[in-house]
Amino acid sequence: MNEEFIEYAEKVVQHDPRLGRNIVHDSRSRGFAMGLVPDPTTWVTKSIRIYDPVPNENQCHGECTCCAQCMLFNTVRNRKVGRVLRMDTAHKLYSLATSIDNFPGQWTSPTWEDTGSSGLAAAKASQQLGLGGVYRFIFGGADEVVQTIMTGRTVSLGTAWYNDMFDPDSSGFISPTGGVAGGHQYIARGYVKSSDAVRLRCWWGSFRDVLIKRTDLHDLLMDNGDAHTQDVLR
């Protein structure tokens, strides 16, 4: 990646080895905006199915950016029929993503240095491996994320991840409290109108399918977060 075009890049300190999202904001991404105008009058309760496996957490390194990318391509109406991408594909994507991002170190043989990566690098790696096509960025915060969900698309989200977000409450909600554990990449796959909440999906963990208040998600995205969607190549 040509650093001349990078507006902002930050290697995030990861306090949990399962996390690995680093921050990259590329000025060129503005030319590939989703560009939906949020219209809350059109929002309804909606859930989008994802055919994702649940790996043993011991399999998970810092490749959350590429686990999320695989979930984009395991989504109903955005997947190759009959195919479910699994951890081996996430590992291939992550190995490539760490070699094309703008951070030192690569998750490749022989050192397998796990330095984390970005959602942008995961999208680019998906194109290079022939899994994904066009990707679009969402700059309108949680409202545009919900509007995108209304079109039937899931969204890959990269934000800070707080310690309390590992443990949903009895109603299945997580809250960005308890101090920052690191950076995480995960999927928005639904919306619950009655509670004004976004349904999230992680590939692993007790917080695999949880809810977050739309306002909390908006705050996370405004704090150096990013969001994108990508078309699968069939």
pLDDT, one tens digit per residue, over 50-60 is: 998 888 776 77
- Is the residue at 74 inside a domain? yes
Average pLDDT over residues 144-158: 98
Give the DSSP per-residue string, 56-116: -GGG--STHHHHHHHHHTEETTEE-TT----HHHHHHHHHHHHHHSSSS--S-TTT-----
Under 8 Å between Cβ of 69 and 92: no
CATH value at residue 64: 3.90.70.10
pLDDT greater than 80 at residue 170: yes
Q: Domain residues for 192? A: 3-39+58-228
- Is the residue at 207 inside a domain? yes
Average pLDDT over residues 50-76: 88
Sequence-separated (6 or more) residues with CB below 8 Å from residue 109 = none
pLDDT greater than 60 at residue 13: yes
Task: Looking at the chain, list the stretches that DSSP marks H as alpha helix, in order from N- to C-terminal side.
Answer: 64-72, 87-100, 119-128, 141-150, 214-222
pLDDT greater than 60 at residue 4: no
Average pLDDT of every residue of the chain: 93
Alpha-carbon distance of 170 to 214, in angstroms, equals 18
Q: What is the pLDDT of residues 104-136, one digit of tens each?
A: 989 988 888 888 999 999 999 999 999 999 999
Average pLDDT over residues 163-172: 96
Average pLDDT over residues 153-180: 97
- Is the residue at 50 inside a domain? no
- Is the residue at 158 inside a domain? yes
Say how many domains are in the chain.
Answer: 1
Torsion of CA 187, 190, 191, 195, to 10 degrees: -80
- Is the residue at 213 inside a domain? yes
- Is the residue at 45 inside a domain? no
- Is the residue at 159 inside a domain? yes
Residues in the chain, overall count: 234
- Is the residue at 49 inside a domain? no
Q: Write down the pLDDT at residue 5.
A: 64
Structure pTM? Answer: 0.95
Residue among 206, 199, 218 at smallest CA distance from 46:
199
pLDDT greater than 60 at residue 221: yes
